[in-house]
Structure 1
């Protein structure tokens, strides 16, 4: 009996530009990878179209604007983390050197075809050809510069500097941009020289229109590049925040439960109860079937009760005022629960005091103990309880956490969320 073979549908990949194998902008390399064709065939095709009334150049420039740069292949989060800490060498994408022989042959083919077409009188008029060549060279030089500025140099800037500072960060970039503008200016000058007789007002308006359109064309790829880079940065930040939230939740729930299980390993019933409760909490968190309290006061009281049940300490809680629980205030409650858990585990006290004030403009929660205390600066960087589950979690939600602790005198954690 033959086992049927299941085929997995392949999702078509979006066309992009590949600078690692590019001669100019990577349009042909990207289209070849997308279509599965030889790159040289597409390059020769564009040359043939260019020799015919310049259509190839127009199509190439439109695709240069329309196609995004190829994204770097994603790497495992562990490799990225090791690279950031200097534990692993981070290598950028390798650029394949162009074959100068093939490039020269294609360029000579294009020049020969252009000369042949123009000599036969079926090409572009001279009054269009030379301004078009000068303007195209200028545009390509400016656009090429925009492609070869790294995303990192864009993201290092803030505000309006993101749009201009990377372009003038090095003298070579300024020179290339000026040469490109010179090419565009030459093209405009050649057009103006050939203008028919007209009034000075009409000529001035026409020249201004040409200059504005040319500058917009020159700046178009740079604005597109910065916009895409900022969008990608926002998406990366959202992903990083989601990972941080997941790490904080796992620390607050799963890891805490595992620590309790280790302490109560001799009591099978307690271990089973803890495991079942943690399973319910994890399923609720993963699949969104939440049964959380609907108000800040109820959520804080429930969190205090959980800490009392888990660690056998008294949590005296006083809440003044109340309001509905939204996602930001839920993060505050989770940070308060982690502060209570830390006090129960490490302070060595039998009682923890929690005081909260809730109104429409400000929500504050104070978690105090009179226990061992600690020095915040001496807490190892890999300990998630304070930095990840309290400080960073509240910061991402728009709040602020302040921790005061004195060895052998106790700790106070102040959490606030302005509305």
Structure 2
């Protein structure tokens, strides 16, 4: 039904100029007296210039309500206004568009786009929403005689549910109850306002159908029933709550274990590898051991405190340490800067994400210094509006990413694992004989990561988001 409505709207906005196939195409008029026959296409052979269909996903950053219309438009490759007009027409048909929109909202996953809609696009969308609701009310009253006292509460409940659903469906880290980890005043206003609209709408429907005396008895029966059900299910709720707490504690312990393993790999194991190479130089071995002892004691007893709060400063310190330990030249270049999140710092990186980004960058530099065979490594960092990107590049021997042994945990644990645990993404590009590039992306705040299709997907077709 949605597809048929979209086709009809597209037909009205882009009418065909000719009826039937054009001359020179299969089934069309002959050219110079010679008929044109269809040419069979081989299965699996791509058509030149054809645009592949995108996966059906709701828009995340560019949504007005839930991003359903935008996701359908992106999937079909058409203007989103046509899809919204189609939903408006369907909404006027006894509210079927509202039901279809809600079903697609529930059963379609959200995308990773971040582009916000313009003010003009929002105004057009809100106008179409009002037109659809008004059309549904008018047509229902004309054809079925449904009174406004019935339709108005239904629309109020639908609007309230949309407000609440939208906040629980937003991107970013979530709390236990499903709200954003750092809810704003506007978030709470939408949730409370939506819940109020739902209660008012349902209350009007109930009061219109039941007299007050019967309503009082019914409410008393419902309350008594709920109390009884609650008493019977107390053990079940307690068990579920304890299981949730145990699962959360296990997840925290596992994250801490992974962090400790990553740090030990980056520090102690790397130092032991250097000591093996310098086994014939007792003075160098002693220097490395003393330095590693000081670093390990500081990490164990400082509580994970960070000496620097600037990404640029931290990258320069890491580059200097790698140069001193491995005898290579690291050339850091930064565009923009971001601070460690704290008092007086807005839109900064949380401590966990900050340390993970620096730790993964250090491990990438160490891997290049040890395995690339090159004496010069390029380090580039860029702070964009919604994410931080770090690139580590060398022109060394390169390697086959799929052929890395399972016991080599540097790439899997110290780089990819520690970044993905904080909501980031790692892309590895390596060509044997041409060098290696490791891209680390970390989101800022509660924003979702932006997928750079023109860069990451072309270079790494296997590294596409799921």
**TM-score, length-scaled by structure 1:** 0.50
Q: Aligned residue for 1:352? A: 377
Structure in which a larger fraction of residues adopt helix: 1
Counterpart secondary structure, 2:318: helix
Q: Distance in 2 between the 1:347 and 1:359 partners?
A: 29
Post-superposition offset of 1:239: 0.3
Larger Rg: 1
Gaps of 5+ in 2: 1-175, 178-212, 341-349, 445-466
Aligned counterpart in structure 2 of residue 369 of structure 1, from 394, 405, 426: 394
Aligned counterpart in structure 2 of residue 324 of structure 1, from 339, 357, 365: 339
Q: Aligned residue for 1:216? A: 230
> Is the alpha carbon distance of 1:366 and 1:277 closer, same or farther for their aligned partners in structure 2, counting shifts above 3 Å?
same
Gaps of 5+ in 1: 1-158, 161-198
Q: Distance in 2 between the 1:300 and 1:201 partners?
A: 68
Aligned counterpart in structure 2 of residue 227 of structure 1, from 218, 241, 249: 241
> RMSD across aligned C-alpha pairs, in angstroms?
2.3
The alignment status of 1:237 with 2:262, answered yes or no, reads no
Post-superposition offset of 1:379: 1.5
> Is the alpha carbon distance of 1:414 and 1:211 closer, same or farther for their aligned partners in structure 2, counting shifts above 3 Å?
same
Q: Aligned residue for 1:253? A: 267
Aligned counterpart in structure 2 of residue 280 of structure 1, from 272, 287, 294: 294
> Is the alpha carbon distance of 1:264 and 1:218 closer, same or farther for their aligned partners in structure 2, counting shifts above 3 Å?
same
Q: Aligned residue for 1:299? A: 314
Counterpart secondary structure, 2:233: helix
Post-superposition offset of 1:329: 1.7
Q: Distance in 1 between the 2:222 and 2:443 partners?
A: 51
Mean alpha-carbon deviation: is it higher for 298-307 or for 326-335? 326-335
Aligned counterpart in structure 1 of residue 413 of structure 2, from 385, 388, 391: 388
1:375, 1:407 within 8 Å by CA — same for their partners in 2?
Answer: yes
Q: Aligned residue for 1:48? A: none
Q: Distance in 2 between the 1:255 and 1:207 partners?
A: 68
Q: Distance in 1 between the 2:337 and 2:215 partners?
A: 70
> Is the alpha carbon distance of 1:209 and 1:278 closer, same or farther for their aligned partners in structure 2, counting shifts above 3 Å?
same
Aligned pairs for 1:19-98 within 5 A? none
Equivalent pairs counted in the alignment come to: 223
1:323, 1:359 within 8 Å by CA — same for their partners in 2?
Answer: no
> Is the alpha carbon distance of 1:211 and 1:345 closer, same or farther for their aligned partners in structure 2, counting shifts above 3 Å?
same
> Is the alpha carbon distance of 1:323 and 1:207 closer, same or farther for their aligned partners in structure 2, counting shifts above 3 Å?
closer
Post-superposition offset of 1:401: 1.2
Q: Distance in 1 between the 2:382 and 2:256 partners?
A: 29
Post-superposition offset of 1:359: 4.8
Post-superposition offset of 1:295: 1.1
